[in-house]
Amino acid sequence: MNFSFFIREVWRSLTRNAVPSFAAMASVLVTMLVLGAFIPVMQMASAAASETKGQQFVPVFLKTDSTSKDSDRIAALIKRTPNVKNVEYVSKEQGLKEQRKIDPEAFEILGSNPLPDLFRVYPKDADGIPALIAALAPVNAAGSPTPIDPKIDEVKNAKETPKVLGVMNAIKMGTGLLAVLLVGSSILLVGNTIRLSLFARRREVEVMKLVGATNWFIRWPFLLEGLIVGAMGGVLAILVLLVAKTALLGPLESVPVVNGLSTLSFGLLAGLLLIASIGVSALGSVVSLRRFLKV
């Protein structure tokens, strides 16, 4: 097998069909850019969602006349409730100290501590918080929640948790859907480029078949053409992502929030994108060859 012959044929085909080849390469480039952004975003969103879930708790407020015996009894009741991982008692004095750290001026004008004692109930699974709240304060016949102990004043619901997790899930789903659509369009464009190459060289293919060329001898130049188009798009996407990472994300690496979220190393991400770009192009080439080249 003369490899140099195949390379010359690929170069001749690329120059002859420059516009379709460029369009296919640009499609692969955009697809890999979206994938290159989607993978870290998905990892960061998953890490942030896990961290957010781990910090969620259900606040159980006690009545002002509750005693230490009441607190011990209520703590035992809560620990026997399903989906409870940990129970933390927070006295009103401790709660006041925490609130003063958050907003020092908010409690300066108050002469007394208005905060009640409470329990922070950490669930094993944050998705089961509604069921946990229902277990700690089941609804009575009148339709109002009734705490499991008369010394419990109220069981709160952390309403911000579903919103945060919903936004993260929406980001992951939207980016993933866009990536899937772009992968499909890249496969179609690469396949269309191979189809145009086949049409432009249809007489050469007929002559090669008449002189006894094997099926794979005819297919290899077209398959290599698709692989080269995909590899070029992947390499360009990696270069663009490298520039963006250096220019945009470099200054943010010192920010604790950004630095604390672990993602793939850029070398591993570049390798995955290059493999993906070649794979997408190979799939488009194979589909087009099976459909339009009957050898």
**Domain locations along the chain:** 3-51+163-292, 57-157
Give the pLDDT score at 6. 63
Confidence at residue 62, expressed as pLDDT on a 0 to 100 scale:
92
Q: Are 121 and 127 in contact (CB under 8 A)?
A: no
Place of tokens 């004095």: 93
Q: Which two three-digit tokens encode residue 55?
A: 């910090």
- Quickly tell me which residue has 């708790």 as its tokens: 57
Share of the chain above pLDDT 90, in %: 8
pLDDT of residue 205: 65
Distance, in Å, from the CA atom of 258 to the CA atom of 53, rounded to the nearest integer, reads 18
DSSP, res 88: E
Token pair recorded at residue 104? 């020092």
Cα–Cα distance, 142 to 149 (Å, whole number): 18
Q: Say which CATH class 57-157 falls into.
A: alpha beta
Mean pLDDT on 24-47: 79
Question: Over the stretch 45-101, which tens digit does the pLDDT of each residue have?
Answer: 677 666 666 678 889 999 988 888 999 999 999 999 998 888 999 988 888 888 777
**Predicted local distance difference test score (pLDDT) of residue 260:** 47
The answer to whether residue 138 scores a pLDDT higher than 80 is yes
Please tell me what DSSP assigns to residue 150: T
Token pair of 255, please?
Answer: 């920010």
Q: How far is CA 181 from CA 34, 98, 125, 241, in A?
A: 11, 48, 33, 20
CA atoms within 13 A on the CB side of 289: 20
